[in-house]
Structure 1
Amino acid sequence: MAAPTGATRSNNALVRSLIGGLVTALPVLVIGLLVLNFAPTYYTFLALGAFVNLIVVVGLQVFMGNSNISNLGHSAFVGLGAYGVAILSTPLAMKKLSIPNAPFGFATLELDPVSSALIALLVVGIVALVSGKVISRLSGVAATIVSLALLIIVHSVFLNWTDLFKGNQAFFGIPKVVGLPWMLVFAVLAIVAARLFKDSRWGLQLRASAQSPQAAAALGIDAKKLRLMSWVLSALICGLAGVLYAYFAGTISPKLFYFQMIFNTLAMLILGGMATVTGAVTGVIVLSIGLEFIRSIESGVTVAGIQM
């Protein structure tokens, strides 16, 4: 029997990784379908928010879990994605109320949701590429501080460029074109993409460079290039989460994409374990259910018709 060729082994590894990603996404798919078919509207809204967090956490895992570098700037990309589609796809009648003085002709520009999403993700990718050129050259605390600086800069732009982003006020009128089915589809795709990257040679080499930089350099592994690659992919997934959030909520504001999102999503990632995509998914599910359980206890529970 002939030995398997390199191409065959590569294809087998790709199939295994793809199956692994789908298996990891299975609990998410089951929860989403249960909510879609049996849950009241309130829980559907909660599920939409949880799936946004899931996509953000999975995106965060792509960089942090493989590079072992803490990232405090990922919500900046979520915000860029959300504001990108808000500026491009909001109907002109609503723009006259929200951003009548928008520069560069944005006040009179209205694109369809798909084109708006693609352009918004392109902007996210460009910002990620530029910022990644700096972060990929750093490691440890220095890289973390730069990622935090990126968050503060982007947040300041949202607040102070009022003609384009409305400042601290809510940006309303965004078309609500994403429901739970589409959110579920993109959540599964994000999980599979993260798993494929983790199991790819780039993911393996990036983790090797994080664990032993000297040995990786001796083997010719370009750690800077790999960090940049994972940073951009992570940013695009986070930007996708922002796009989806804007399209299901219809209203956004800068505070949504600042420290609260950073702490919530980091807690979810750390709780489940950032080394694996499965851990990231588990952390989101556990913390989302736990927070809702605590919230329900706060408002009181009914036992035998008696409000406790």
Structure 2
Amino acid sequence: MVTQHMIRRRMARTTPLLLALLLLGFALIATQFGDRALARMASETLIRVAMVVGFWIFVGNSGVVSFGHAAFACVGAYVSAWLTLKPAMKSMLLPGLPDAVAAADWHVFPAAIVAGLVAALVALVSGAAILRLSGIAASIATFAFLAMINTIWSNWTPITGGTSSVVGLARYVTPWVALGWALAAILVAAVYSASASGLALRATREDEVAASASGIDRYRHRLLAYTLSGFFVGVGGALMGHYIGVINPDGFYLSLTFLMLAMLVVGGIGSLSGAVVGVLALSLAVDALVRLEKGVTIGQATFSLPPGSQEIIIAIAMILVLIFRPTGLLAGREIMLPARWVAGRNQSDK
């Protein structure tokens, strides 16, 4: 006999599959039926999906708003650059690198994995201290960590190039490479969310006192989610570097922090589907507004928005979402197949 609990579990398992189909359809439309600008937008959007889903692994399950995850993207981007840049380029731009790193000439894929692992290690070490705090204190501590990483990277000139841009990164990322990493992030996020650690962490999010009374170790589960989250945000930073071809510490600072937060808030922090939908919604809106700023010709007339309109319109849209839909577009719900589709014949016949 199929119980209601089994039906809910089957429904939950369809979420990553449906999100994968959504992103696959998005990538196909952008690459097969759009122009080159749309294909580039698709690559950037799918990289953001990987980063924001990684961000959600911690924020969505713990309920702690982190302002420091852009630091992991910064670490990941620079680690990948250290491993993939040509040795001659590194000798000019980054003369202080250790000999083994200066001589490295890796392919981007293993470098991205190592970048994620180093970012995860940084998350583990920093989270060991930060996550002993809770509430607004933890959020402020994550922002302090971000400022610290940005200051170090901006002044560690022989190793990072300081405030100068590091150029010459291989332009490796295509929509399909970014799609692969986005799907990997979604799968891992779904598996973690359904795991014992994910369930325990969400219990601390809903009622910290009751969870503690039940014997749940909040600190351990938060640290695990924080570390796993750091891995995918670090990989996202590496992908961003190999998509643009240039990295700079300020590219992984406040603007990226608030962009990830905005996408998560618009879609809905309470669900994995909300994280994905938030990225797609804001990315498509920004692309449409940029095109309108450049001008759209209809017949004999050309319509265009004043420069800078996209920031104002996006800000107004976010305010409206927060007022009329404070829990996000999906309101904490997951995209999944209806119960009657997964219940089985015996259940559907009742």
TM-score in terms of structure 1 length: 0.91
Letter in 2 for 1:250: G
Does residue 190 (structure 1) correspond to residue 180 (structure 2)? The answer is no
Q: Distance in 2 between matches of 1:28 and 1:222?
A: 35
Deviations 1:61-115 (A, max 9, x none): 1111111111000110011111101011101122233223434543333233333
Does residue 28 (structure 1) correspond to residue 32 (structure 2)? The answer is no
Please, which of 72, 75, 78 is the counterpart of residue 80 of structure 1? 75
Please, which of 207, 210, 214 is the counterpart of residue 212 of structure 1? 207
Please, which of 107, 112, 119 is the counterpart of residue 114 of structure 2? 119
> What is the Cα-based RMSD across aligned positions, in Å?
2.0
With over 3 angstroms needed to count, the CA separation of the structure-2 counterparts of 1:17 and 1:197, relative to structure 1, is farther
* SS class of match (2:149): helix
Q: What pairs up with 1:137-176 in 2 under 5 angstroms?
A: 137-176=132-171
Q: 1:210, CA displacement in angstroms?
A: 1.6
Q: Distance in 2 between matches of 1:149 and 1:210?
A: 23
Q: Which moved more, 1:120-129 or 1:228-237?
A: 120-129
Q: How many residues in Structure 1 have an aligned counterpart in Structure 2? A: 301
Q: What pairs up with 1:27-106 in 2 under 5 angstroms?
A: 27-103=22-98, 105-106=100-101
Q: 1:158, CA displacement in angstroms?
A: 1.2
CA contact (8 A) 2:128 2:223 kept: yes
* SS class of match (1:39): coil
Q: Distance in 2 between matches of 1:134 and 1:269?
A: 25
Q: What pairs up with 1:264-279 in 2 under 5 angstroms?
A: 264-279=259-274
Q: Distance in 2 between matches of 1:233 and 1:19?
A: 22
Q: Distance in 1 between matches of 2:298 and 2:14?
A: 44
Gaps of 5+ in 2: 304-350
With over 3 angstroms needed to count, the CA separation of the structure-2 counterparts of 1:26 and 1:137, relative to structure 1, is same
Deviations 1:117-159 (A, max 9, x none): 2322221121111111122211101110111111111111110
Q: 1:187, CA displacement in angstroms?
A: 0.7
Letter in 2 for 1:34: I
Q: Distance in 2 between matches of 1:305 and 1:226?
A: 61
Residue number in structure 2 paired with 1:260 = 255
Please, which of 221, 239, 242 is the counterpart of residue 237 of structure 2? 242
Deviations 1:197-220 (A, max 9, x none): 122221111111121112111211
TM-score in terms of structure 2 length: 0.81
Q: 1:33, CA displacement in angstroms?
A: 1.4
Identity %: 34
Does residue 300 (structure 1) correspond to residue 322 (structure 2)? The answer is no
Residue number in structure 1 paired with 2:175 = 180
